[in-house]
Amino acid sequence: MRNHSNPFTSLDYQLEMRLDHAHGALTGQAYLDSLDDNREVWLDGQRVRVTEHQAYAGLRNEMARLYDLQHSDALREQMTVAVPDASYRISHSYTLPQDDAQLDAKWANSHLWMQNSWGQLPRVPDFMANVVVGLHDYQAELAKVDPQFGANAAHYHAYCARHDLSITHAIGDPQIDRSSGPAESADLALRVIKETPEGVVIRGAKQLATMSPFAHEVLIYMSPTFAMRERPEFVIWCALPMQAPGLRIMCREALARPENSFSHPFASRYDEQDAMLFFDDVFVPRNRIFLLRDSKTAFEGFRRLNAWSLYVGQIRFYHRMRTTLAVAAMVSDSIGVSSFREVQGKLGELTTYVEMARLALLGMQQERSRTAGGLLAPGSTLGPDTFAAQFGTRASEILRELGASGLLMQPSEADLATPELRPLLERYMRGKDIDVDRKSRLFRMAWDLTCDSYGMRQELYERWNRGDLARNRIALFNQFDRSEIGQRILDEISVPAPLPAGRELHAAPIQLDRPLRAAANDIAPALAAHMNPPLSPAIEGNQHEQ
């Protein structure tokens, strides 16, 4: 049964977004206790309790460990900050950076979250906390639509920060028929079906909500792909507790496998789960609505909301690449191929990706600027995001090439403990300067990263979590300022190239005050005759072969 002694797990407390029982930065046990509510989570056809089901034990415990880091003597000052009007501290994840020192402290905290989870948790709480920072920063624009929307955004940030909430987001439409739209079929998108002075009722579905079973809240907004709706009832930004009545969470297959002793060091701890969210006529109170009907504000707001979170995503990618490189190097050492030229080339390629990610982080820090909301934000992540989507898969491919068949054939923990097998394993499955126990666990780690269903999920996530790659490339091209270099090229091609001494070009001079195309048409015949003199018959006859 649910623990009724915890005020925070009360649905009324959550819907009202009260602050009277706020506690600041969570401990691991407080996090676990906070999940003990009435959320409706479905796994493999059965309704399950997140706090009890064995499939969720690994990430449950890992999340608790990560939250406890905030209270460790070594990291408390780096991960949390004092609140002037309270006796508790809050996570730097929710810091509203006003100056360089606050922004640097914020990123130091993000690095600690990602480093301590090996870059394997894309939806680590630090990520969505920074989306809420973006929501707070965008409040003035939301207030132009409705003053209450702006006030709601500011209060939501305070509510999340003071309770140290873990949040998922739901921004994509269900994958039914991408050739159609919600104007033709209402089930293709989440929509408002009723509005009253107290709030709205929403119906529909959202995919893909990562970390849903382990989150306290879902923040609903819209990616640029889906923001420009044809009908206003399909435009809504809001937030709900995961236990909101009518909200059903259907999880994908769990990737952790506790049923055998084959080692899965990452899958067993970092399967953060993805889910479909079904909104079966869910009531959203007015105080939890941030935007209604205004598709232009929704479209323009996506980048503003994610100005900090996308940088956090790049920090995670950097730590994921560091992990992949280190495992690849150790795998190569363990089988004695590190000195091979081809292997060194592949390890060098991996190192290139790590360095590109590191330098991109530094560059975006250098380009920090003040937002329209008054906060300090990093430079655009659009270029690095496109880079990560392209090369994350290549990094996994390199590790698969280096590990080769060894990734498939490694003993389980039970095999290692079996007396009949142990002498054979020590003799035939050891590595170079590494015993069979450590070698097998190392290769199982590589398997998790690149071959197991967990690794494939991570690759798929890396490819698509930042949105459609082609769309991002187009946006990057359209935003890139080519005006200065374009003008220099135009100046360069607006006059003829110098002729050799003694050669004259018999053509009318270019009229620089006329359109360039017309001038080019005037000079083209003479220029062609000069640049392409008649070929000798012998050369002319060989043009097709050449």
Annotated binding site: 169-171, 175-178, 210, 468-471
- According to DSSP, residue 195 is labeled E
Angstrom CA distances, 477 to 422, 470, 471, 473, stand at: 58, 11, 10, 6
Alpha carbon distance 438, 459 (integer Å): 26
Cβ 258 vs Cβ 60: under 8 Å = no
Tokens for 355, please give them.
């360095």
C-alpha closest to that of 104 among 120, 81, 84: 81
What number of residues does the chain have?
546
Full 3-state SS string of 52-70: CCHHHHHHHHHHHHHHHHC
Tokens for 425, please give them.
């394993």
Tokens for 146, please give them.
């409705």
Tokens for 480, please give them.
């890139």
C-alpha closest to that of 56 among 216, 264, 213, 165: 213
Indicate the annotated binding residues for FAD: 169-171, 175-178, 210, 468-471
Only one residue has tokens 């459609």, namely 468
Alpha carbon distance 416, 410 (integer Å): 10
281: left (phi over 0), alpha (psi -120 to 50) or beta: left
The set of long-range contacts for 185-192, using a CB threshold of 8 Å and a minimum separation of 24, is 189/226, 189/229, 189/234, 190/220, 190/234, 190/236, 190/279, 191/233, 191/234, 191/236, 192/233, 192/234, 192/236, 192/292
What secondary structure does DSSP assign to 294-312, as a single string?
-HHHHHHHHHHHTTTHHHH
Alpha carbon distance 124, 132 (integer Å): 14
- Which contiguous run of DSSP H or E holds residue 41? strand 40-43
The set of long-range contacts for 348-354, using a CB threshold of 8 Å and a minimum separation of 24, is 349/394, 349/398, 350/321, 350/324, 350/325, 350/395, 350/398, 350/399, 351/325, 353/321, 353/325, 353/391, 353/394, 353/395, 354/318, 354/321, 354/322, 354/325
